[in-house]
């Protein structure tokens, strides 16, 4: 009699422990760092900078820029001039998955568990003003599940880290993994700037 009670208690306790362990795994599994860009040929980069917007003819993009990277061997150099080639007077680039996906195709990553997106940026002369850095926000049939951003941001010549807070965001489907946009009114002489170590963490 006594022995069977002990066995029953042991069973209840071990079931409880097992349930607790399961719950902890579901709630507490740490988010694995998810890179958008670290170096030009890094195999674990995600998203493609395919979404050129506004005056796309005014931009030059080089993801193999070797001078003074923040980390590794390369950073991204973006040159934006003020010709207003398409007449938009603004420009920007979306990093997308799959490339050129404006919400017409599935392909967003599930980034649930990420607390923030961080990236490093610097300006060529200092004073370059980027109106917005953001993630998500692509609309359409396969719209992104949420949007988050910061800006305007004024760059300095030294590398500085920026953070987009993702707490409380629905990150279950993000096709627009990273984006920047600015305009010529706030950059009358254009803007040359650099990005590196863009990652969800």
CB of 45 to Ca ion, least distance (A): 10
* Residue number, 55 or 196, with CB nearest to Ca ion: 196
Structure tokens, 73: 């061997």
Structure tokens, 62: 């080089």
DSSP state of 57: G
Nearest to Ca ion by Cβ — which residue?
A: 72
* Residue number, 90 or 120, with CB nearest to Ca ion: 120
Assess 39 for contact with Ca ion (CB under 5 A): yes
Assess 71 for contact with Ca ion (CB under 5 A): yes
* Stretch 125-184 residues interacting with Ca ion (CB under 5 A): none
- What's the helix, strand, coil split of the chain in %, to 5? 15, 40, 45
* Residue number, 72 or 149, with CB nearest to Ca ion: 72
Q: Position of tokens 């995600």?
A: 46
Assess 69 for contact with Ca ion (CB under 5 A): yes
Assess 72 for contact with Ca ion (CB under 5 A): yes
Q: How many residues bind Ca ion (CB under 5 A)?
A: 5
CB of 75 to Ca ion, least distance (A): 5
* Residue number, 45 or 50, with CB nearest to Ca ion: 45
155, 178, 196, 199: which one contacts Ca ion (CB under 5 A)? 196
Structure tokens, 148: 């988050």
* Residue number, 75 or 96, with CB nearest to Ca ion: 75
Binding positions for Ca ion, rule: CB under 5 A: 39, 69, 71-72, 196
């Amino acid at each position: 009699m006594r022995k069977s009670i002990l066995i029953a208690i042991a069973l209840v306790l071990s079931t409880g422990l097992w349930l607790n362990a399961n719950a902890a795994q579901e709630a507490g599994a740490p988010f694995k760092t998810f890179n958008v860009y670290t170096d030009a040929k890094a195999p674990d980069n995600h998203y493609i900078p395919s979404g050129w917007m506004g005056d796309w003819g005014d931009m030059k993009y080089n993801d193999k820029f070797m001078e003074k990277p923040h980390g590794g061997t390369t950073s991204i150099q973006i040159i934006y001039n003020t010709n207003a080639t398409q007449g938009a007077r603004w420009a920007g680039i979306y990093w997308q998955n799959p490339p050129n996906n404006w919400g017409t195709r599935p392909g967003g990553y599930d980034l649930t568990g990420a607390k923030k997106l961080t990236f490093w940026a610097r300006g060529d002369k200092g004073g370059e003003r980027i109106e917005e850095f953001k993630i998500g926000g692509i609309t359409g049939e396969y719209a992104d599940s949420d949007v988050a951003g910061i800006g305007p941001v004024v760059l300095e010549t030294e590398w500085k880290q920026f953070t987009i807070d993702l707490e409380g965001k629905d990150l279950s489907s993000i096709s627009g993994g990273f984006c920047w946009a600015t305009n010529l009114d706030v950059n009358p002489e254009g803007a040359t700037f650099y990005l590196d170590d863009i990652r969800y963490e």
